[in-house]
Amino acid sequence: MEGKIIYQCKRKTVYHDGDRAIKTYGPTYAISQVLNEALNQSRVSEAGISAPMVYEVKKFDDRYGIVMDYIDGENIEEILKKNPNDAEKYITLFANTYHEMIQTKNLNLNNSYGRIKNKIFASELPTNIKYGLFYKLRDMEFSRDIIHGDYAFSNVMIRKDGKPVILDWGHVAYGDKKLDIAITYALFELQGRKDLGDIYLDKMKELDNIDKAQVMKVLILAYIYIVDRYEEAISKNIYNRIYEIIKNEEA
């Protein structure tokens, strides 16, 4: 595999090769998952959302990979490590970028309802809690908003010209934007940055009239949406947070 490694974790490696980025996946990824991500990223890019254009899906030795545009810039997480005093500026940009993204409607995406239902019943939770979450899911409002599913600082690149570009479309679906905002809030909590999550919610209230109470109603479903992405140590913390939310709701 040619190119310089620019990101690597246990399940994915991203290479930079000229004007292309190549995102490769570990052997646990089925070709259908890779093709689905490439298809969905192509759909959002063609709809005018700021996302890297996909060129092809290829097999590299024992791994499949998506070949896409290379984005020359830094993600918001990297920028704030160097410029921590600019948090307000970049979280405003982060919220505005999300607000612009969800203006696009009716893309041909999977329904988040079915995805969450499957995740609930595949989880390690006791049966009675699974059914309680399923009933909560049934009561949740649904629309055809884009659910990015992993909208985090690390997935918003800022190009050299200042334009934001959204990465990582492997979890995208459609549903209620409050769920997606709750997922982002959960990701901030996992990083120990609840303070940034609260600022983000304030920004989303200004932009879309969504307040914290609305997000907290679906926060437990947001954690269900992301728990299966993590290894045991982090997933254990997520399950503990789920039990904490349940306890608080019952109090």
pTM for this entry: 0.94
List where CATH 3.30.200.20 sits in the chain: 4-69
pLDDT, tens digit (0-9, with 9 covering 90-100), for 150-163: 999 999 999 999 99
pLDDT digits (tens, 9 = 90+) for 174-198: 999 999 999 999 999 999 999 999 9
| Cβ neighbour number for residue 182 with a 10 Å cutoff | 25
**Rg from Cα positions in the chain:** 18
The CATH number fitting domain 73-250, selected from 3.90.1200.10, 1.20.58.100, 3.90.79.10, 3.40.50.410: 3.90.1200.10
Which residues are registered as beta bridge partners of 54?
68
4-69 fold = Phosphorylase Kinase; domain 1 (3.30.200)
* pLDDT value, residue 1: 60
- The secondary structure element, H or E, covering residue 185 is helix 177-190
Convert the pLDDT of each residue in 61-93 to its tens digit: 888 999 999 999 999 999 999 999 999 999 999
Q: First vs last Cα of the chain: how many Å apart?
A: 55
3-state secondary structure of 157: strand
Quick one: DSSP state of residue 227? Answer: G
